[in-house]
Amino acid sequence: MTEANLSAGNGNGSPRIGVYVCHCGTNISATIDVVAARDVAENLPGVVLSREYKYMCSDPGQEIIKDDIRELGLDRIVVASCSPCLHEETFRNAIADGGLNPYFFQMVNIREHASWVHKDIKAATAKANDLIRAAVRRVRFHRPLEARRVPIDPRVLVVGGGIAGIHSALTLADAGKKVYLVEREPSIGGHMAMFDKTFPTLDCAACILTPKMTQVRAHPNIEVMTMSEVVEIDGFVGNYRAKIKHKPRYILEDACVGCLECIDVCVFRNGKTPDEFNLGLSKRKPIYIPFPQAVPQVVLIDPEGCIEFRTGRCKKTCVEVCAERNAIDFTQEETFSEVEIGSVIISTGFKAFDARRLPQYGYGRLDPVYTALEVERLVNASGPTEGEIVLRDGSKPKKVGIIHCIGSRDKNTNVHCSRVCCMYSLKLAHLVKEKTDAEIYEFFIDMRTGGKGFEEFMLRVKEEGVTMIRGKVAEVYPEAGNTGRVVLQAEDTFLGMVRKIPVDMVILATGIEPQADAEDVRRTFNISCSTGGFFTERHPKLAPVSTFTDGVFLAGACQAPKDIPDTVAQAGAAAAEALALIDAGHIELEPNTAFVVEEECSGCKTCVGLCPFSAIGYDEGKASINEVLCKGCGTCVAACPSGSIRQNLFEDEEIFEEIVGVMANV
């Protein structure tokens, strides 16, 4: 292709350029004098036609371009409208339909970069004119190009085995695609596995999740990797390679049958280590299974607590009882493996807000104060108390206060609304009331029950006798007289008075935050984070599960706080996007690769070491670029000291012309 490019059209011919200035309704025309812009464009060298039109991206708008190409023999098109991120593809397709190479096109961003960000019509119009002039000068140098087609590897990597990852993996696997499901905890299941009931339908979380977890385990198309993390990914859409770290479990997964006898016979009669799954509300032994329904049904050893690891002198009753199965291996080490995939779904979930960051609520200091997730475990039949709601002192609560928006909607912690807390607070109110008949006080700022059946659920809980108090709790402090109770102090904004309510138990409705290592994940996968730290979707409305990295999709709470139904919907959408990619079989890539002009290259090798994708080779005294590996950043082009590397769509000439264009009026 490169030689064809060089001999093809350049700026020296007599181009026939058409310029189209879009009003975008009034989005552009309210701030930019589109008629003046059209007139300026009309007089630029090479321009044979300049029009302004209400909506260039509309079908009639596109038709105008196509007709003009055919009737006037236009061979270069400039459209001044919105960001190329939005409609570059639209116009390229239209131009191709009109019979022109789609890359004989340049888009000018006069909406996002001009009309929407300036108020003064004169200044905004001047800017638009400069940008249009730059595009007109540049487009003369465009060469005919072809999109690169790359095949899509049908295998998919799903990162994070919560409900989002599980649902995506199953959807893809059911469609016959191979899925690698990577989970860093010893079991898949995520937060949902910790819940008791789900709002607003109150169906048991385990009852709906466990079958899906089992399906994952049994599915021939899914390979589950627990205690594993993706540490590196390279390649590009359709052709990624992921390096995965496997932490040692000290158990041979294939040999363990999940009989759990080793746990019974462990030399520790009782657990001594706070149980992570129960948030420390119970203790576990050094050899354990995270929770009864864990997938895989395989125990693991925590070397911190294990006598054998600490002293090397344990009786190893576990090894004894495992006998010929011989599944215990104290010598296991961290290992790495690599998988090749075509697309990735990131479903790394969330982290619950750490309530210790708001000391006024006493979490970690006052015994009666619990987080919502802890209470989920308390009310759960397989939890530390087998579903009994008993406080740390062994008593049952008679009065319970629930405080909303802990770590949400608060400029000192997180500005965002965590979306699920109002509803799960109501759910916990219902469950606690059902189990203890305690008096319950919900302290809320606003009751947000937007969702199917949500408002109805709130009304039901209210009818059950839960007291709703609108007001933010200022402080939780011990009741005078050593009663063991605490007092919630809040201004009741309905009554307009400060209320002090002594309770036996406080539940903090902690919010949803990005995972602590979201930043690392973001870097590994080369995606971006929004201001709050959640991963950024490609477009908030139109590409809600895509990212700016092609072939990498988002599902679940890693993108933004959401409840289970929304998470599952998004997981399905992400799987569908991946399937669409896979079923197309190939993807077209922007032909913006760089190439070395062989006869110009001196073989100085400056470029070779600069390419982050090892796309530049050196052979027989010349550098050459592997077009498949080149991602089109252009770093080598800028560095080439003899100007012998060019980048399609971003040639030196084209950029210099843009500079002339924007500066022409100075």
Report the nearest approach of another protein to the CB of residue 423 (Å).
28
Between 549 and 559, whose beta carbon lies closer to another protein?
Answer: 549
Which residues between 326 and 345 bind another protein (CB under 8 A)?
A: none
Report the nearest approach of another protein to the CB of residue 628 (Å).
16
Using the contact rule CB under 8 A, the part of the chain among 91-99, 314-322, 429-437, 608-616 near another protein is 608-616
Which residues between 538 and 567 bind another protein (CB under 8 A)?
A: 548-549
Using the contact rule CB under 8 A, the part of the chain among 105-113, 151-159, 272-280, 364-372 near another protein is 105-113
Other beta carbons less than 10 A from residue 622's beta carbon: 17
Residue 290, preceding peptide bond in cis (omega within 30° of 0): no
Which of 3, 63, 67, 120 lies at the binding interface for another protein (CB under 8 A)? 120
Report the nearest approach of another protein to the CB of residue 623 (Å).
9
Q: Is there a contact between 177 and 155 (Cβ–Cβ < 8 Å)?
A: yes
User: How far does CA 340 lie from the centroid of its chain?
Assistant: 21
Q: Which two tokens stand for residue 553?
A: 């999709």
Q: How far is CA 369 from CA 358, 391, 624, in A?
A: 12, 9, 66
Between 29 and 380, whose beta carbon lies closer to another protein?
Answer: 29
Report the nearest approach of another protein to the CB of residue 617 (Å).
9
Using the contact rule CB under 8 A, the part of the chain among 381-389, 472-480, 523-531, 559-567 near another protein is 523-531
> Checking DSSP bridges between strand 645-647 and strand 594-596, what pairing results, if any?
antiparallel
Strands (E), 200-286: 203-204, 222-225, 228-236, 239-246, 273-274, 283-284
Report the nearest approach of another protein to the CB of residue 584 (Å).
23
Cα(329)–Cα(376) distance, rounded to whole angstroms?
35
Q: Is there a contact between 561 and 417 (Cβ–Cβ < 8 Å)?
A: yes
Cα(44)–Cα(6) distance, rounded to whole angstroms?
26
Between 68 and 88, whose beta carbon lies closer to another protein?
Answer: 88
**Residue 94 is a binding residue for another protein (CB under 8 A):** no
Which of 41, 134, 166, 589 lies at the binding interface for another protein (CB under 8 A)? 134
Which of 89, 112, 253, 517 lies at the binding interface for another protein (CB under 8 A)? 112
Other beta carbons less than 10 A from residue 1's beta carbon: 16
Which residues between 67 and 86 bind another protein (CB under 8 A)?
A: 83-85
Between 133 and 212, whose beta carbon lies closer to another protein?
Answer: 133
**Residue 132 is a binding residue for another protein (CB under 8 A):** no
| Contacts with 16 (C-beta within 8 Å, 6 or more apart), sequence order | 46, 48, 72, 73, 74, 75, 76
**Residue 127 is a binding residue for another protein (CB under 8 A):** yes
Report the nearest approach of another protein to the CB of residue 174 (Å).
33
Between 56 and 372, whose beta carbon lies closer to another protein?
Answer: 56
Residue type, 300: L
Which of 174, 592, 624, 629 lies at the binding interface for another protein (CB under 8 A)? 592
Report the nearest approach of another protein to the CB of residue 526 (Å).
6
Between 505 and 662, whose beta carbon lies closer to another protein?
Answer: 662
Report the nearest approach of another protein to the CB of residue 632 (Å).
6
**Residue 523 is a binding residue for another protein (CB under 8 A):** yes
Report the nearest approach of another protein to the CB of residue 230 (Å).
16
Q: Give 459-508 as a 3 state SS string.
A: HHHHHCCCEEEECCEEEEEECCCCCCCEEEEEEECCCCEEEEEEECEEEE
Burial of 533 (0-12, 13-18, 19+ CB in 10 A): middle
Using the contact rule CB under 8 A, the part of the chain among 17-25, 273-281, 557-565, 658-666 near another protein is 658-666
Using the contact rule CB under 8 A, the part of the chain among 287-295, 362-370, 487-495, 603-611 near another protein is 603-611
Q: Which two tokens stand for residue 359?
A: 């000391």
Which of 237, 521, 601, 625 lies at the binding interface for another protein (CB under 8 A)? 601
Report the nearest approach of another protein to the CB of residue 658 (Å).
5
Which residues between 623 and 642 bind another protein (CB under 8 A)?
A: 631-635, 637-642
The count of chain residues that interact with another protein, using the rule CB under 8 A, is 71
**Residue 537 is a binding residue for another protein (CB under 8 A):** no
User: How far does CA 478 lie from the centroid of its chain?
Assistant: 41
Which of 116, 309, 330, 477 lies at the binding interface for another protein (CB under 8 A)? 116
Using the contact rule CB under 8 A, the part of the chain among 125-133, 164-172, 222-230, 258-266 near another protein is 125-133
Report the nearest approach of another protein to the CB of residue 76 (Å).
18
Residue type, 92: R
Exposed e or buried b for every residue in 345-377, given b needs 16+ CB within 10 A?
bbbbbbbbbbbeebeebbbeebebbbbbbbbbb
Best CA proximity match to 555, nearest among 171, 118, 34: 171
Which of 360, 386, 600, 628 lies at the binding interface for another protein (CB under 8 A)? 600
Q: Which two tokens stand for residue 516?
A: 């602590």
Report the nearest approach of another protein to the CB of residue 653 (Å).
10
Other beta carbons less than 10 A from residue 616's beta carbon: 22
Q: How far is CA 567 from CA 89, 406, 423, in A?
A: 30, 22, 15
**Residue 570 is a binding residue for another protein (CB under 8 A):** no
**Residue 44 is a binding residue for another protein (CB under 8 A):** no
Residue 565, preceding peptide bond in cis (omega within 30° of 0): no
**Residue 395 is a binding residue for another protein (CB under 8 A):** no
End-to-end CA distance of the chain: 38
Best CA proximity match to 649, nearest among 102, 168, 60: 102
Residue type, 116: W
Report the nearest approach of another protein to the CB of residue 624 (Å).
13
Which of 26, 483, 493, 526 lies at the binding interface for another protein (CB under 8 A)? 526
Quote the radius of gyration of the chain (alpha carbons, Å): 31
Taking residues 480 to 519 in sequence order and writing x for each that binds another protein by CB under 8 A, - otherwise, the string is ----------------------------------------
Between 493 and 665, whose beta carbon lies closer to another protein?
Answer: 665
Between 117 and 459, whose beta carbon lies closer to another protein?
Answer: 117
**Residue 588 is a binding residue for another protein (CB under 8 A):** no
Cα(485)–Cα(608) distance, rounded to whole angstroms?
70
Between 205 and 552, whose beta carbon lies closer to another protein?
Answer: 552
